[in-house]
Amino acid sequence: FPPFHLEMKSSAVTAAHCQAAPAAAASIKPSRPVETAYLQGQSGTPFPVIRGIGWSEDQGRRPDMEDGMVAISNLAGVANAWLLGIYDGHGGRQTVEMLLQKIHGNVLQHLRSRAIERWQRYRQRAMSRLQDIRRRLDELHFQQQLACRDVRVLMPPTQRLVELLRLGRICEWVLQCEEPSQEGRTETEKSSASKAPTPPSFLTICTEEDVHRALDEAFVQTDVEILRDRVYQSGATACVCLVRPVLRLDLLLEMRPEEISDADWVWFSVERQKPNVIPASTPSQHAIVQADITVAHLGDSRAVLAYTDGHAERLTHPSDHKAGCEREVRRVESLGGWVFGERVNGMLAIGRAFGDWSLKLPPGKANPPYSPTSGAFDRLLNIFGTSPSHAAEQAAAERKEYVVSNAPDVRSVSLTPERPAQAPGGIRRNSPSSRASESQTAMSGQETGAGRVPGLLVLGCDGLFDVCSDQVVAHLALEFLRQLVAVHPDMSPCEAAKATARMLIEEAIGVRGSTDNVSVMV
């Protein structure tokens, strides 16, 4: 049975650096994103979603540059999967440097664990569905035999048989793959497994719930590692975006046989291995192959999705985790802290952040009173009653809630419009994926019906968003990009994205008077 997988070998990817400064995944430099690539998807696939990426930064009037960014393409070997991050440090760069080194690895680690658990559930469901399919095939065979002997008995339609066989083959494939593929298999392991069906990547099979839990756990783990590595005095806000293709096996294994369309089946057919045979298609033609973006953040770094009609959608929490917002005030006070002058314990303007371990516990735990920049080791020793390294192990085991929280807000958005309800025969009618939005059509770059088409994703720190609203950023970026493309039609998407990011920084600093570090990724 031909395998399904969304992986692209690294040798097939050509890195196109989006700015003059060198960048590489192996060595992350301060304030420089990791390697990026402009990916051209195979003909007929509904990807890429990200066609180009660019970034820019400016120290502003601050004495030091404490921001950092990361952009990893081809994440875990999956084509068109990206991890994007923007980190805004305070009190030094130590926490930002730790985030640049650790957070993406921790995210992948927890996604792998979740994917293995999810795959076992899929296998159990596939076994149940396969037993039912075999029973129905036996019934069809019996009906065929009766029809051959008695002209009064109608022959069952061939389409029913085809639909059952399709779903049965998919269930068999799930059962033959013991677990999802992992990144970094050796050539020997690949060779020994060559006769077995190729499983999908762990990154593509996680559900929204799996991704949310993995990001939450990765954030907490990273914060504990910051304490374990004795980074006490600094902190950082963070916004991490995971963009990935999704194989919706959760939908597929609940579908009726007649709901599996030709567009869906092609991903499991022999033609799937021959890209030139696959007809041109758009994301909306597929129900089981989609594209999602999941955003997790601590603090006031934001991700904003700008649609082609000019509408802006903030993907991070509306409060920005500002210490003075009612939600954070209630949480801080319930843990024994206090908010004065819209600052946690009178010191920090945000209620959630990486690092800032001297502020993680309420002030009553520390004696004498402390400031965030002096005697950090002694204060932590007094707070935890033990060494910070041992305290980190306790924090990892107990998963406490802290005054300055390390629990992110996480949100997912589908970037794939759902296709309209259709008729049988490769067609969907009242399926789980089509009921919600029958009027939406393909992501072609133009609006149709009530659907909105994503145009730009903008990540920025508070140096941008403190002086520019989400709507202003979306309007400026889209209008600038339209004019830029009109004047320079030969400009690559990466070049256009970089120019747009620089324009937003000039707007924030030169026009609106931002004095903070400003970092923007488009």
Structural domains in the chain plus CATH codes: 14-112+211-253+288-321+411-421+454-493+508-521 (3.60.40.10), 114-204 (no CATH), 326-398 (no CATH)
- The phi, psi pair for 240, rounded to 5°, reads -115, 130
Residue 378: per-residue pLDDT: 57
Question: Quick one: pLDDT at residue 199?
Answer: 85
| pLDDT by residue, tens only, the chain of 522 residues | 233 332 322 222 223 333 333 333 333 333 344 333 322 333 333 445 789 999 999 999 999 999 999 999 999 998 889 999 999 999 999 999 999 999 999 999 999 999 999 999 999 999 999 999 999 999 888 888 888 888 777 888 888 899 999 999 999 999 998 888 876 444 444 544 456 678 889 999 999 999 999 999 999 999 999 999 888 889 999 999 999 999 999 999 999 999 888 877 877 765 444 333 333 344 445 578 888 999 999 999 999 999 999 999 999 999 999 999 999 999 999 998 999 999 999 999 999 999 998 888 766 554 434 444 445 555 555 555 555 556 666 666 667 889 999 999 999 998 876 544 333 333 333 333 333 333 233 223 333 334 688 999 999 999 999 999 999 999 999 999 999 999 999 999 999 999 999 999 999 999 999 999 999 999
Distances in Å between the Cα of 467 and the Cα atoms of 350, 456, 502, 511, 514 are 17, 20, 15, 10, 7
Please tell me the total number of residues recorded for the chain in this structure: 522
Instruction: Determine contact, residues 255/429, Cβ cutoff 8 Å.
Output: no
Place of tokens 């029809």: 147
pLDDT of residue 395: 65
Phi, psi of 72 (to 5 degrees): -115, 120
3-state helix, strand, coil in the chain (%, to 5): 40, 15, 45
d(CA 195, CA 66): 50
Token reading at 352:
């959630």
Q: Strand runs (DSSP E) across 363-481, as ranges?
A: 409-414, 454-460
- 472 membership: H or E segment, kind and range: helix 470-487
153 CB neighbour count, 10 Å cutoff: 13
Task: Measure the CA angle with vertex 153, ends 147 and 158; round to 5°.
Answer: 60
Q: CB of 459 within 8 A of CB of 305?
A: no
- Reference 12, options 81, 104, 82, 77; nearest CA is 77
Res 83: pLDDT: 97
By the 8 A CB rule, do 195 and 237 touch? no
C-alpha 17/C-alpha 37 separation (Å) is 7
> How far is Cα of residue 402 from the mean position of the Cα atoms in its chain?
26
Spell out the alpha helix ranges (H) of 237-298: 249-252, 262-265
**Tokens representing residue 305 in the block:** 């999705």
Distance (Å, rounded) from C-alpha 309 to C-alpha 7? 33
- The per-residue pLDDT for 416 is 77
Provide the token pair at 80.
Answer: 């068109």
Joined together, the tokens standing for residue 225 give 């590692």
C-alpha 69/C-alpha 189 separation (Å) is: 35
Backbone φ, ψ for residue 5 (5° rounding) = -160, 150
Contacts of 186 (CB under 8 A, 6+ apart): none
Q: What is the pLDDT of residue 356?
A: 93
Encoded tokens for 233: 């005095």
Indicate the pTM of the whole model.
0.79
